[in-house]
Amino acid sequence: MSKRANKAQRGEPVIGHGVAQLASVTVDSYNLELRDRNGFIGDRASKRAFFDKLDDLRGRLDKLDADPIGDVATEEIGKKQLDLHIMGEDAEAAALVHAAIEGFAAELAEVIKRFMRTKGWDAIERIAVGGGFKQGRVGALAIARAGVALKADGIDVGLRPISHHPDEAGLIGAIHLVPAWMFAGHEAILAVDIGGSNIRAGIVVLHQKKKADLSKAEVWKSELWRHADDEPSRTEAVKELVKMLKGQIKKAGDEGFKLAPFIGVGCPGIIAPDGSITRGGQNLPGGNWESGTFNLPAALVKEIPAIGEHETLVMMHNDAVVQGLAEVPFMQDVDRWGVVTIGTGLGNASFTNRRKD
């Protein structure tokens, strides 16, 4: 066990927004914003970066009237269609997508190398890759190829897709924001995953009787609102989120679930101890989420002051941290591990397990 891991065990867990000392892990770093001369290096391994590589390859082939995919615009090609291309009988179309995968995987490997040269990512033993891009064969191949590239360069780190569907991981991870004993006598919690395009709210069933380590936790119900289509103000976005949560509370009641008086929230950016967002919230609906006069957890408590017979507790952390926390039960064989989430950008977080000896 590393000296860093031993040090992480000595600190007491803290119940608060954006804290480093959680019950199961120490959050060593998150939301790294490394730059090179072309901007944020994470942008080189975003979902958009993959499609840019594919589009560039298609453009060069199109000059020779040799694009095997045809007239469909690159941005209109979905994950299922890409998977059909790489598994289909058209060898040239498969080769084209594989070439884009190869280029993207090389960039992902280079970005991870840069992360691993920073404090908080040194000595990482395993990395889970989440975000919407990991779904489907194309994402799985890109992750595997990046892992091979890292090992070929002598970097012994395991790279694997996150265990849950990324939409569910962003909710399930919320159960690790507070100690599990706080859920005693309850069967489920409310969780929220806020992104630059969508907001998802759902009910996470704990299944603590099946597995005390919460490895059997699952999303029972969830609702997705694609706010990017509606372009709401910040006030309207919060109002819609409250409506979604109240709807989930009713569903839990109708089902007879004993819902804990807790709402866990994952949100982009740097989360301050008071629940405000100090940096990184520029893509959130309506803008100005970094205002000193706005506090999402406080706004939620005001609108939902109690769940059942108890006062509501809201805890918020960075969305990549929360998605990573869903991996806690599956990372107990290593000391230090990380997560990257491939989406609009490249979310990231690194952790040290807190051993309970």
pLDDT average, residue stretch 61-71: 93
Mean pLDDT to the nearest integer, 176-185: 93
Give the SS3 label for residue 327.
coil
| Cα–Cα distance measured from residue 262 to residue 184, given in angstroms and rounded to the nearest whole number | 12
User: Which pLDDT value is given to residue 8?
Assistant: 42
The domain segmentation of the chain, as residue ranges, is: 27-163+327-350, 166-323
* Residue 250 DSSP one-character state: H
What is the per-residue pLDDT for 82?
93
**pTM exceeding the 0.95 threshold for the entire prediction:** no
The answer, yes or no, to whether residue 1 has pLDDT greater than 90, is no
Report residue 3's pLDDT band, with 50, 70 and 90 as the boundaries: very low
Q: What is the mean pLDDT of residues 36-46?
A: 87
pLDDT score at 281: 86
Question: What is the structure's pLDDT at 11?
Answer: 64
- Of 223, 163, 213, the closest CA to residue 183 belongs to 213
**Parallel, antiparallel or unpaired: strands 259-267 and 188-194:** parallel
| Superfamily of domain 166-323, CATH level 4 | ATPase, nucleotide binding domain (3.30.420.40)
Stretch 36-43: mean pLDDT: 85
Confidence label for 6 from pLDDT (cuts 50, 70 and 90): very low
- Predicted pLDDT of residue 196: 86
